[in-house]
Amino acid sequence: MEWSWAFDWAREFYRETGINLTFVYDSFDRDRLARGFMNTVYLSLICLVLSVLIGIAGAWLQGSKLVWTRRIVQGYIQFFRNTPPLVQLYFFFFAVGSLMPTYENRFGMQEPMLDNFTWAVISLSFFAGAFNVEIFRSGIEAVPTSTVEAAESLGYNRLQTYRYIVLPLAFRVCLPALNNNLVNLVKTTTLAYAIAVPEMLYMANQIWSDSVNVPETMTFLLFAYVFLVGLLVWAMHSWERAMRLPGYGR
Amino acid sequence: MNKLMRSALLGAAAAVALSFGALAPADATTLQEVKDKGTLVVGVKADYKPYGYLNSDGEIVGIEPELAQDVAEKLGVELEMVPVVSSNRMQFLEQGKIDLMIATMTDRPDRREVVQIVDPNYYSSGTNVMAPKKAGFKEWTDLDGAPVCGIQGAFYNRKTQEEFGAEIVAFKGTSEALTALQQGRCVAFVYDDSFLISKLGEDEWSEFEMPLQTIDDAPWGLAVAKGADDFAAFMSDMIKEWHKSGRIIELEKKYGVKPTPFAEKMHKEYM
């Protein structure tokens, strides 16, 4: 598609109004902001999926008969829920990251395994995962005991009960809370810029430092997040509607 | 108006009056005054190795303190050095706490409005990289495709990326960037060359070097108080003399700094 009219328009707009949309007409700025946007999308998607998986697994382990399994899950939740995500990122990248085995990169240097993007995925997934465990627990506890007993009397074992009876019901009950936490997760990905992950805020920061067009870039950033989170909320709401339980609210 | 309100207002008025009093510029120090009191008070950095730092005996030493010593000797007075930082150096000069400031200050037009920056410039600094000696970089273009640590928002990040093809990995502060460099997350750190020179003076960084040609050179200015015209004229001759005799280059060598292109250029110009 031919876009040069848009670039010309942005340049003209700058001349007439002084509003400098470098990320529209400057190809370097445009590319890096687009890359930042895509990185935010990737980071969010990967963390969303992983954190939900961690939540499901954690909530199941929380109901384990083994006391140590329960304690470990509880310890994990306490660690990740009680520390700020920014501190976690720094801790993982600079402290734990430096203990990782190294490999030789193409410049002949020893580089630690797992790059900053991977550490951001690990840290943010476990951070949101800790909340998800508690969210799923709230859903599981809302499933009536009589329902679980009915499943047991039909010969379901613990895993089968969890998978076919408890989780689907629990999932529906805790979806609104899960929705909240996932929205928060998408917004928390901006913290990854502290460890130089080139996501949207990182790129925007560099653009407005170069061209001193802070209000313009800030505004774009805000709308981009409204769009991204709006998309997520819309998807989650459709899911909520599709899984509607008659007699259980909307 | 109640009593409390009134006293609060009086207090505020007094504070305003006081701050105005403090802001009123002291009389600019003239050459004659310095000679009369017998000491020259110079503001220098004390935390910027090798330009001005504390040695193990707690004395301020470095390239700029030596320049200050030259000035005192020329005037035939005692030298007194006052450590300054970037945020107070111009205020000290305005308030008459120091007669002369030689403190790694970049010459900028807005600063020229506050203090009298003496021409010509005595030094300059620009952008360079700090890299492990093992990497063996020679040219900026060697950085093509290499992960290079930087500081978020620095103006040369774009240039390093766009013109030389480096992949900038930008952190919030210098300590994070230096840690990342040390841990091998990046193969070089692009920053202000004077800062890099000061870091390279530390044992911790002995395996690193500053191998490239400095770019984006910005001149440094030493300054006297606004209105101290005869002092400024005297300092101007002093700086020309330093350039002419190669004193700056000599000091750079003494403190282990590779002669900067600026110092060499000025030396040729005034020779």
Of the listed ranges A45-59, A190-204, A209-223, the one predicted with least confidence: A209-223
For residue B24, the model assigns a pLDDT of 44
For residue A236, the model assigns a pLDDT of 93
For residue B22, the model assigns a pLDDT of 46
What residue spans of chain B are helical by DSSP H?
3-23, 31-37, 63-75, 89-94, 109-112, 156-162, 174-182, 193-200, 229-245, 247-254, 261-270
Listed in sequence order, the residues at least 6 apart from A198 whose beta carbon sits closer than 8 Å to its beta carbon are A32, A35, A36, A39
Considering only CB atoms, which chain A residues are within 8 Å of B170? 196, 202, 206
- CA of A215 vs chain B CAs: smallest distance (Å): 15
Q: How far apart are CA B171 and CA B152, in angstroms?
A: 5
What chain A holds in terms of domains, given with CATH numbers, is: 33-242 (1.10.3720.10)
ipTM summary value? 0.81
For residue A181, the model assigns a pLDDT of 95
Is B76 strand, coil or helix?
coil
User: Does the distance separating the beta carbons of A28 and B158 come in below 8 Å?
Assistant: yes
Q: How far apart are CA A2 and CA B26, in angstroms?
A: 64
For residue B73, the model assigns a pLDDT of 94
Nearest residue in chain A measured CA to CA from B154:
A209
For residue B10, the model assigns a pLDDT of 56
- Residue A68: pLDDT band (50, 70, 90) is very high
CB-facing half-sphere around the CA of B173: CA atoms within 13 A: 3
Q: Does B185 touch chain A (CB under 8 A)?
A: yes
Nearest residue in chain A measured CA to CA from B163:
A28
Considering only CB atoms, which chain A residues are within 8 Å of B162? 28
For residue B11, the model assigns a pLDDT of 56
Which regions in chain B score pLDDT beneath 50?
Answer: 1, 18-26
Considering only CB atoms, which chain B residues are within 8 Å of A205? 152-153
**A47-50 contacts: CB < 8 A, separation 24 or more?**
A47/A121, A47/A124, A47/A125, A47/A128, A47/A185, A47/A189, A48/A128, A48/A182, A48/A185, A48/A186, A48/A232, A50/A121, A50/A125, A50/A129
Closest CA to B55 of B63, B46, B45, B64: B46
For residue B143, the model assigns a pLDDT of 92
- What does the mean pLDDT of chain A come to? 91
Q: How far apart are CA B228 and CA B26, in angstroms?
A: 11
Of the listed ranges A15-29, A55-69, B20-34, the one predicted with least confidence: B20-34
Q: How far is Cα of residue B261 from the mean position of the Cα atoms in its chain?
A: 17
Other Cβ atoms within 10 Å of A209 Cβ, number: 19
For residue B5, the model assigns a pLDDT of 59
Is B99 strand, coil or helix?
coil
User: Does the distance separating the beta carbons of B179 and A94 come in below 8 Å?
Assistant: yes
pLDDT tens sequence across B231-269? 999 999 999 999 999 999 999 889 888 778 888 889 999
- Closest in A112, A202, A210 to B184, CB measured: A112
Is B83 strand, coil or helix?
strand
For residue B271, the model assigns a pLDDT of 82
Best of B129, B144, B151, B152 to disrupt the A interface (most A CBs within 10 Å) is: B152
Which stretch, A3-17, A225-239, B182-196, B199-213, has highest mean pLDDT?
A225-239
Q: What are phi and psi of B133, to 5 degrees?
A: -55, -35
Considering only CB atoms, which chain A residues are within 8 Å of B168? 206
User: In Å, how far are A117, B181, B190 from B177, measured between CA atoms?
Assistant: 16, 6, 9
Closest CA to A190 of A211, A212, A209, A205: A205
Q: Which of residues 92-121 of B touch A (CB under 8 A)?
A: none
Asked if residue B149 lies in contact with residue A121, where contact means CB atoms within 8 angstroms, the answer is no
Percent of chain A clearing pLDDT 70 (strictly above): 98
For residue A230, the model assigns a pLDDT of 96
User: Does the distance separating the beta carbons of B154 and A116 come in below 8 Å?
Assistant: no
- CA of B34 vs chain A CAs: smallest distance (Å): 44
For residue B1, the model assigns a pLDDT of 47
For residue A1, the model assigns a pLDDT of 65
Residue B232 amino acid letter: A
Q: What's this model's pTM, rounded to 2 decimal places?
A: 0.74
Residues of chain A that touch chain B, judged by Cβ-Cβ distance less than 8 Å:
28, 94, 97-98, 102, 105, 107-112, 115-116, 193-196, 202, 205-206, 209-210
Nearest residue in chain A measured CA to CA from B185:
A111
Mean pLDDT on A31-44: 95
What chain B holds in terms of domains, given with CATH numbers, is: 28-122+221-270 (3.40.190.10), 126-217 (3.40.190.10)
Best of B159, B185, B186 to disrupt the A interface (most A CBs within 10 Å) is: B185
Q: How far apart are CA B184 and CA B175, in angstroms?
A: 14
